[in-house]
Structure 1
């Protein structure tokens, strides 16, 4: 978990040629030789975010927060699409990118990242799952700052993360999985402070 925190600021560089390593080796082919089918290496979560136009606002927020997604895992990222940031309450949307609220931004982004890989097929009913976000000095009783994210699958098959709807599930990456969501959700301590209202 700490490697995740200290090891997303260099995310933009991760979309380089190394995003897809395609080694090939020759094989016999009727008297001649041809290249074998490439072994494709999937993009990492950081690389996928950097190259997905639906996540350009998320990438901007990741850079502002100084988070690095280049190591560790596997993770599950409930990634808010661009329109999710626009749907935030105006007061919160206008403040979250400011320097004095950098801790809120960082906490919020980490609250969207689970400490394990969870594809849509792994979810049946509902379950509370722990996120990368932790407030180690918070000793208050539940509900506390460390309330987990509730992930659930509705009768229609739609997956939810807290109040956010998963609009595109299961973008499989080398170090985990991304689910695109339609809403930004906040850790309990910041939600109670009015950021989600």
Structure 2
């Protein structure tokens, strides 16, 4: 029987996770701009862009980095309970919003291949320490990377390796929560 890490690596090598879908990847990667530029030019990340601006994180995420951003899509934000986003975007909730957004950022540039290697080396899971200070746990489920947050919620990487000049973006189908 092959060792788990060898079987996992072989299975992942054949999945779409290791290569971004062409349309969105080209859209995000065209000029090889920074993470903020990619988010603001994406038709699927308008809510994230507004949240980054409201939290005052634009200059940080446009900075040198490198950063790995697990970027919830607009559809991911739409899954939050009614009124949650409006509440988070209020100026008096900037600290909470900043905490949630920085929970989606990992220092360094971690590609899908590197992340799946970390998962394999960890026996099926990898712990990622976020800029916020919390932990996201990454696993491979049905050939896709799934992140589990502090509340037990899950977010699936739906598009990987959107490389930018200051890091990499992986789009997710849910908002991860640190509390």
- Which 4+ runs in 1 deviate beyond 2 A? 91-94
Contact 2:46 2:74 (8 Å CA) reproduced = yes
Cα shift readout 1:111-155 (whole Å, capped 9, x = no counterpart) = 000012111111233110111113xxxxxxxxxxxx31112222x
Cα distance in 2, alignment partners of residues 89 and 170 from structure 1: 29
Cα shift readout 1:55-93 (whole Å, capped 9, x = no counterpart) = 111001111111121213111100010011110012423
Query: Alignment RMSD, CA only?
Result: 1.9
Higher relative contact order (CA 8 A, sep 6+): 2
Residue 100 (structure 1) aligned with residue 99 (structure 2)? no
Aligned length: 138
What does residue range 17-96 of structure 1 map to in structure 2 within 5 Å?
Answer: 42-67=32-57, 68=59, 69-96=61-88
Partner SS, residue 50 of structure 1:
helix
| Bigger proportion of residues as helix | 2
Residues 1:42 and 1:94: Cα distance change in structure 2 (over 3 Å):
closer
Deviation at 1:183, TM superposition (A): 0.7
Which one of the candidate residues 166, 169, 173 is aligned to 1:178? 169
Looking at CA atoms only, which structure, 1 or 2, has the larger radius of gyration?
Answer: 1
Contact 1:73 1:176 (8 Å CA) reproduced = yes
Contact 1:58 1:81 (8 Å CA) reproduced = yes
Structure 1: runs of 5+ lacking an equivalent: 1-18, 21-39, 135-146, 192-197
Cα distance in 1, alignment partners of residues 96 and 73 from structure 2: 19
